[in-house]
Amino acid sequence: MSKSPPDLGSLVLLTLVAELGSLGQAAERMGISQPAASKRLTLLERRLGLTLVSRGTRGSALTTEGKAVCQWAGRVLGEVDSLMVGVAALRGDHALDLHLAASMTLAEHFVPRWIGTLQRRSPDVYVSLKVTNSEQVATLAKSGHISLGFIEAPTVPSGLSSRQVGTDRLVVVVAPQHAWARRREPVDLAELARTRLIVREVGSGTRETIERVLAGAGVEPGRPLMVLDANVAIRRAVAEGAGPAVLSAVSVQDDLTEGRVVEVPVTGADLRRRLRAVWPKDRPLTGAVEQLLRIASRIRGENR
């Protein structure tokens, strides 16, 4: 058996399999194919002389030995993160200044957790966060005004590298007294397009996503009922009975639980979307930027 230590990528893969319970999902998170991930995991097992993962039709689960190795791997990867931040500080290249921008849903519900984890590990990192829409986040990333951006748009603009950091689901919501709240049949896309909705401003990832869904079904969205540039404003308008809206399920979860709004089923479309980190293609990720992206990839935002 080889005495050389395993590579860091294999350790990251093992921790992702433990987190996600799926080798395929772990491979997707790392941006590699499932066969490549399987080969890397097999090589890791051979190098350590242990069976780490039990593969089955329902997914992948760590063995007892795999859980122990995974725990140690987490410590190693945490130390590597600290190493990179320390090296950046020694270089004096301002890598400890982390300027971020995020679309509203991400900024409200996902990014704070990632930043909190980063600052617990590296308390000397200075973080600033600009909250705007996905289009503006992409513009800031392209221009180099931010270290890293987070968007919910359905496509990645040219000139940017990206990595998926989560998933999200859009829902149609109305006030409890709205006629849709009492209907038994789902709303189809044609009816949704004909209905005047409360929407976000142009450039919002939520608005772009639903417009692309409608266009893909061959229907054009009608004129909005009103345009508001904040999720909280839309939520309140819906709850007050102004009209229907399409929002992230995570942003209206409390309203749904407490009965202020009602989710309306929609047929004919998959309203899930990917959440992504973006940065300029010609800029390597180092220091705190690389560390935050690694954290976001591990503590993945999931909203099914």
Give burial (CB, 10 Å; 0-12/13-18/19+) of 275.
Answer: buried
**What is the structure's pLDDT at 32?**
82
This model's pTM is above 0.85: no
**What is the structure's pLDDT at 39?**
92
Give burial (CB, 10 Å; 0-12/13-18/19+) of 120.
Answer: exposed
Give me the tens of pLDDT residue by residue for the chain, a chain 304 residues long: 446 788 888 998 998 888 888 888 888 877 788 898 899 999 999 999 999 998 877 778 899 999 999 989 888 887 776 676 666 656 655 446 789 999 999 999 999 999 999 988 888 888 999 999 999 999 999 988 898 999 998 889 899 999 999 999 999 999 999 999 998 899 999 999 999 999 999 999 999 999 989 988 888 888 999 999 889 999 999 999 999 999 999 999 999 999 999 999 999 888 999 999 999 887 778 888 888 999 998 876 544 4
Provide the token pair at 38: 């399987």
**What is the structure's pLDDT at 145?**
87
**What is the structure's pLDDT at 304?**
43
**What is the structure's pLDDT at 243?**
95
Length of the chain: 304
Domains belonging to the chain, first-starting first, are 8-89 (1.10.10.10), 92-159+275-302 (3.40.190.10), 168-273 (3.40.190.290)
Closest CA to 290 of 95, 103, 30: 95
